[in-house]
Amino acid sequence: MQDRKPVSSTKQQGISLTGLILVLMVLGVFALLAIKVVPSYLEFRAVRDGIARAKAAGGSVSEMRQAFDKSAEINNIDAIRGRDLVIGNEGGSPQISFAYEKRIPLTARATLVIDYDGTTDPSGVVAAKEGGSN
């Protein structure tokens, strides 16, 4: 049988306290970013679902906007309203597009800006809102 020699502490390897603190700080920054961004992304998903429901409800342009507003109220969507939707009639079927910007404050002087857009148009082209953006 082979005898094991004790390993001196100078030859042991691993992460130091400083390295551990640095790793935890980096993980903390990513966690903070995720905590701030995930609700905005979930709201975007709710907006996409809302325009799909508004299109499925059919009717006139104002009825589709009202259907979206009802969905927005139920799902607590604050980023966009029915009046902000661009509703066109492509190939005999109504197509709804939207685009908006979400600003997420990170620190006193840093803000994350995310541009969201979507459409029910099968081509995926988002229609531009007439009269520029708000």
Q: Letter for the amino acid at 14?
A: G
**How far apart are the C-alpha atoms of 38 and 125, rounded to whole Å?**
25
Q: Are the C-beta atoms of 88 and 94 separated by less than 8 Å?
A: yes
Residue 105 has pLDDT above 60, yes or no: yes
Residue 90 confidence class, pLDDT cut points 50, 70, 90:
confident
pLDDT at site 129: 55
pLDDT level of residue 117 (50, 70, 90 thresholds): very high
Q: Is the pLDDT of residue 26 over 70?
A: yes
Lowest mean per-residue pLDDT among 17-21, 28-32, 123-127: 123-127
| Residue with the larger pLDDT of the pair 56 and 7 | 56
pLDDT, mean of residues 118-122: 84
Determine the Cα–Cα distance for residues 94 and 106; give it in Å rounded to an integer.
39
Name the nearest CA neighbour of 92 among 126, 58, 130, 118.
58
Instruction: Give the whole-number percent of the chain exceeding pLDDT 90.
Output: 63
pLDDT on residue 91: 76
Core vs surface per residue 67-102: b (16+ CB within 10 A) or e: bbbebbeeeebebbebebbebeeeeeebbbbbbbeb
Distances in whole angstroms, Cα of residue 130 to Cα of each of 83, 88, 97, 99:
12, 11, 12, 12
**CA gap 121, 74 in Å, rounded:** 24
- How confident is the model at residue 89, as a pLDDT? 84
